[in-house]
Amino acid sequence: MSSLTPDPKKRSYLLPPGCKDLGDVLKSAQAKVSAGISAKAKAKSIHVKVNGKISAPEVRVIDEEGGQIGIMRLRDALELAKSKGLDLAEIAPTAKPPVCRLIDHGKFRYEKEKRKKKKKQAMKTFIGLLRGINVGGNNKISMAELRALGEKMGWENVQTYIQSGNIVFSASGKAAALEMELERAIVKRFGLSIPVVARAAADWPAYIKSNPFLGACKKDPHLVMLCLAKTSPKSDAAKALRQRAAAGERIEQIGDALWIHFPNGVARSKLSPALLDRVTGSSVTARNWLTVLKLQEMASQAPGKAK
């Protein structure tokens, strides 16, 4: 029998966790390779070994197309890989014998770097506003936990600002999709249903320039609010709010933003969050002028900011 010929005898083997049969092992291996997993790039996280790093005396070999070759002595498997100009990667180390696949390690490393570069290029900076967290001891989410959650979701350059729930991050996708993604992640992680409003950082300067109450901001910036809704407010939203304004509030609707000046304080106003939601047509969250400016500063310094 040639040293490169797989042993035709049937062998019993133990399967790695989560695999019911060899078919599951092959599917798992296929998924890993399709995802561009290379041994050197991922060795620290999934402990994949390549070529001389493999120590098992014999291995079950899968070819580059995903087909099963069979059980071979390790040195024979390495010789087979070398003859094909490929590498031998151990993709199921807990199987008995371990499962290895013939791969082009250099190609996978190149493709992975290419995908990573493409993802970086597609990333833009976003500003996310969480509504109603850390108020009166309710809906508690620490900013450290929020940052960690964003990073776990694959977002980059994640920053937060004060406990009201302001997050600046780099990600690919559209604002509406990112809102939903964070909302679902918060439900899963904290068991809380928290509305999130997100905007591209590239849109933020336009909000700042549109502020109709700059004079009031000089006196007390905490009483001028930028109110943003999940969807563009109804065209008559400002008019409807003015009819309810009983404490001298001034309201302007500019683009998809509502600006409200509360000269006598927010606590005395009857313009409640529920009313804002109703007249605009979707969930609304508000930030005072100082927070608006701070978020612009943070977004402008983010590595993934939109040009």
What 3 state SS string does 52-75 have? HHCCCCEEEEECCCCCEEEEEEHH
DSSP 282: S
> Is the pLDDT score of 170 beyond 90?
yes
Predicted local confidence at residue 58, as pLDDT: 96
- Smallest Cα–Cα separation from 98: which of 14, 197, 200, 183? 14
Predicted local confidence at residue 31, as pLDDT: 60
In this prediction, residues 132-149 reach a mean pLDDT of 95
- Record the pTM: 0.64
**pLDDT tens-digit series, residues 4-19:** 444 444 444 455 566 6
Predicted local confidence at residue 37, as pLDDT: 43
Both tokens of 31, joined, read: 């998924």
Report which of residues 1 and 130 the model is more confident about: 130
Percentage of residues of the chain with pLDDT beyond 90: 71
**pLDDT tens-digit series, residues 10-48:** 444 455 566 666 666 566 655 655 554 443 334 344 467
> Is the pLDDT score of 181 beyond 70?
yes
User: Side chain identity at 192, as an amino acid letter?
Assistant: L
**What is the rounded CA–CA span in Å between residue 96 and residue 19?**
12
Segments making up each domain of the chain, as ranges: 22-107, 122-301
**pLDDT tens-digit series, residues 232-252:** 999 999 999 999 999 999 999
Residue 122's pLDDT band (cuts 50, 70, 90): confident
Distance, CA of 248 to chain centre: 42
> Is the pLDDT score of 273 beyond 80?
yes
Predicted local confidence at residue 23, as pLDDT: 64
8 Å CB contact between 223 and 170: no
> Is the pLDDT score of 222 beyond 90?
yes
In this prediction, residues 256-274 reach a mean pLDDT of 96
**What is the rounded CA–CA span in Å between residue 211 and residue 192?**
33
> Is the pLDDT score of 256 beyond 70?
yes
> Is the pLDDT score of 81 beyond 60?
yes
Q: Which CATH architecture has domain 22-107?
A: Roll (3.10)
Q: What CATH number has the domain spanning 122-301?
A: 3.30.70.1280
Residue 300's pLDDT band (cuts 50, 70, 90): very high
Predicted local confidence at residue 136, as pLDDT: 87
